Structure 1
Amino acid sequence: MAGRLKSGGIFRALFFSLFVRLAYHLANSEPTQDKQALLAFISKIAHSNRLQWNASDSACNWVGVECDPSQASVHNLRLPGVGLVGQIPPNTLGLLTELRVLSLRSNGLVGSIPSDFSNLKSLRSLYLQNNQFSGDFPPSITELTRLTRLDISSNKLTGTIPFSVNNLTQLTGLFLENNGFTGTLPSINPTGLANFNVSNNQLNGSIPSSLSRFPASAFSGNIELCGQPLPPCNPFFPSPSPAPSVQPKVTPSHKKSKKLSTAAIVGIAVGAALALLLLLLILFLCLRTKKRNQASKEPKPTVTSRAPAVALGDAGTSSSKDDVTGGSAEAERNKLIFFGGGGYNFDLEDLLRASAEVLGKGSVGTSYKAVLEEGTTVVVKRLKDVVVTKKEFEQQMEVLGNIKHENVLPLRAFYYSKDEKLLVCDYMPAGSLSALLHGSRGSGRTPLDWDSRMKIAVSSARGLANLHASGKVVHGNIKSSNILLRDKEFGACVSDYGLNPLFSTVTPPNHRVAGYRAPEVLETRKATFKSDVYSFGVLLLELLTGKAPNQASLGEEGIDLPRWVQSVVREEWTAEVFDVELMRYHNVEEEMVQLLQIGMACVATVPDQRPEMTKVVRMIEDMNRGDTDDALRSSDDPSKGSDGQTPPTGSRTSPRGVTP
């Protein structure tokens, strides 16, 4: 018995000793790596005297810092309104990999939100509101799949709100108000989203049904947003006449109406009676004319047989539309002019009544998906800032309307008036390359495989080559959103071509298209065949890397996609340059490298060193036959990259690390 007691005492003493040592260890533990990251952050950014962190003390005792129970890592960092000024230094806060809550609201932070925020995989809440952050919606944030609350309101962020926000499946609150976001609202639909606000931006188009449950205040301040819970969307083609809404401002007329004399009242009554008699007379004449037409044995032409494009320059040419409208000069000026081959059976009035949905707003106008009453779906592009005369406009439309190629989206009709210029094209239900390539990259995404990318590359190259060789037309606006897909087989066609002559110069580049512009176009504002080749080269690099030319993740601010690619492959071709979604496909490494060579040849800085589009088509088609290197080594040495340097000699070898 005594032995048992003695052994029990020894056990209790041992347990107590271990407990004391553990308590001492916990009391003196320190999140060393997180502390170094925080010290680097505070030493590189201006801040007020209120925020003083003592390097000799534990980081867990600092103002605004909270650690986990074991004090092994920083879990919460709350620094609201502490006078932080400037850019967040890279490789500081992004190293706090166990962070749950980050609040930097109400400071003076500027620049873009760091790309290394994508390392904060454990982050639940991010509060960055009331700062001066700028640039596009930060792609690093869409990788934080555990986020439940995101507030980046009241900053200076611009660009579109990406569909990849849907990667944040745990979101309960999303606050984007008081920024400069543009474009249409994507269909954002995390299942638990309870709070949402995009008010006071520059968004346009209809509100997706997934967001219509939120109050109107969540969308206010976006003058071009419409649909539930805001007022219904108006037709995309309003009357060109001055809006009658300006008339109610003339309030004195209301006061004068109270002082009308008896003579004035009698005059109004007599005038109304005369107008009624005149209306009855007109109605009688119309009925009489209708009876005469019915008695006639000559059949009337229908609207389906419209004047051919060759009649555009002849104001006296008659058509079935003239028969319907009486052939008046006014009707001739306001008719919808069709080109052959579309098989469409509608007129301008049908287009006016069509329901419309904004597809996108570009530098030269806005595109709408229009569904006519009989079910026909077309795309209508409403041009803005056209400076040419009606004759010049019609001449350019005739040139574009005569282009026929399976990889060029045909122009079906156009409309010209003093106030409105419209283009009508086929609707492509498969969407654009931009949406397919840069859509949601979450777990449910179907990757765009290598064969599909090759089909898109060669078919769009053929379309652009046809514009250059057969149509003698400079596209002038090559970008992934203007590459449309005909079907699930990914046969592509180019759209929005040949419109630059309608404007004074090439429109100034914005953040969405600047990455595609050739260097000389940025200076001269004049597009050429060679600048089209450059833009197509950027498109090929976009297909290979999966990165948009304006994407912030390219790293150094201001770098474009060609320079980023060249910086990665300067020493040797590596797998780092290729889209991670291509890494799952085997035995395509050599083709990927060959297409990369072609893309770099197209983006040569000197225009004369770029190959013609017909040669680009041959190089892509010859890839499987192994003839690409010979084509690249042809005249003018077009294989040189964007800075005039030739790619490394070992470029035909498989990229390092390509195999998953």
Structure 2
Amino acid sequence: MAVVVPRAVLLAAVASLACLAFAEPPPSERSALLAFLTATPHERRLGWNTSTPACAWVGVTCDAAQSTVVQLRLPGVGLVGAIPPATIGRLPNLQVLSLRSNRIIGGIPDDLLQLSSLRAIFLQNNMISGAIPSGVGKLAALERLVLSHNNLSGPIPFALNSLASLRSLRLEGNRLSGKIPSITNPELKDFNVSVNSLNGSIPQALARFPADSFAGNLQLCGKPLPPCSPFFPSPSPAPGMSPGDEPATVSNKKRKLSGAAIAGIVVGAVVVALLLLAAIVLCARSRRRRGAREGAPKGTSAAAVGQTRGVAPPASGDVTGMTSSSKDDMGGGTSGSAAAAAVAAGAGTGEASRLVFLGKGAGYSFDLEDLLRASAEVLGKGSVGTSYKAVLEEGTTVVVKRLKDVAVARREFDAHMEALGRVEHRNLLPVRAYYFSKDEKLLVCDYLPNGSLSAMLHGSRGSGRTPMDWDARMRSALSASRGLAHLHSAHNLAHGNVKSSNVLLRPDYDAAALSDFCLHPIFAPSSIRTGAGGYRAPEVVDTRRPTFKADVYSLGVLLLELLTGKSPTHASLEGDGTLDLPRWVQSVVREEWTAEVFDVELVRLGASAEEEMVALLQVAMACVATVPDARPDAPDVVRMIEEIGGGHGQTTTEESARGTPEEERSRGTPPAAPTP
């Protein structure tokens, strides 16, 4: 009997292992996954083979019994298009959904909101649009909701307040508007709604989060941001009386009013209204007669009002293109400051001395006079003009670029700026406003305090300097490539001036932004040295007509700059003029001195990513090919860098409800999916 029991136990264990080996999610879940993959184009092969178990597919995780799908993680695999309905929503036990860092468009499908087991949704760094559905409040188990850096619009739904388990809510980098709802959940530890179009006061329940969680919303106020202005203060109650009380004498008087008194009040109000109406009609007729006597045509009263304020009227035909400042719209503009008058006089007859705001720049609350009164600091002089850091009296800091040698007329300048104002991407620095007059052309952009990639790479090398490590360089390379790819593919625009001094850094390197894009059409060919100093492609002759392939060449030089630490705008060691960085790298690689190419600072830091460095070097050399057709397109460069840099800016631990949040991992390069 003692021998039989162990055999029985052994047979039971073998049987259970066999069952687990053949365990498989229900056919409905398997077909839902296949339907999702079939309906969604993807750039990387995932190897979801019908002959293998679904639990072994890339990105699919099942429970311990291998009986149901609990996680679907496909970050950075090149998914393109909308999430097809009736696919992921047919995974009833799904707990974690991660489709971050892809190119997903459209809205959030309704069937996802029926998955009651969902604990984490990571959809950041896509192009998802529409409103956040209020049905998200039905996901009672939800702990993390990350929708940052998309194109979401509309209000933040109050239904989020019903999610008792919510610990992380990331909505930054969208186009959300309206007021922030009061989310009183004490479990909420991670909250960010920065860089949106939200307004009003910050709810007291959310005031415990830092100011960075609300930055970039120009109409938000209240703790931890500056206090709100009391435009409509509540009347102070009488001493000894609570605000909700009403004096007894007032109520007594109301009760004592007779019918005759009420009739007298109504008649008096009607008479006063008629007298006011008659006065308005008489004033309007008098003004019209005076304008006719002076030979002024109808419709010029707005220009006349502008002149009384010290603002020159817009030129004929340009009225529709002008945008007044917010202070003028509110009737609060100051009249006739000396600085504004000087600019208006220099603008010439018929020019409008007003800032024209573009895109999200319309949320700024300053005008030209504020800009002229601001303290200014020269940031640098470039091929297109001089840049100034302007700190306004209200505390806002912007960059003002004073353009030189503009060679187009007002109408063409307006049209071009309007096109640039439609460009919005986290890796591009948009133009927020512009000013055009006969003698001055100004551009206004956001101020990024971390400086440029050129300054980070080449500035004051020596003791006391913090070198740029390999992880930061890879993420900057990816940021510049993504910004350029967006310009090419989404707007059909060539940058025309890609260089390290035009890559501006944010606190997180993967949000670095390309600046000064697509300004070449407004300058004369001889006045702007677009792509000069080692960045210009050899085939470019007319700097007003850079091509996509010329941009890729400049991007390749930028990648070589990140790898070598050498600036192509500096003199070569041999003293024979500007360093031709691509040719120098080719000569070193040809002699099999590949290790000599890389920046000595990377070697000192003990960089252990030799394979990644060599792979990025190959991408850079493909970009600087002499024949334009041999160069890859910008989206292909993004894909190749993403495949090289899997894991940069991320931890090695899996995302989980208790581990490092996936939104923190996503700040680097999206990981490349393994290929079976």
Task: Tell me if both proteins adopt one fold, taking TM over 0.5 as the criterion.
Answer: no
Structure 2 length-normalised TM: 0.44
Larger relative contact order (C-alpha < 8 A, sep ≥ 6)?
Answer: 2
Structure 1 length-normalised TM: 0.45
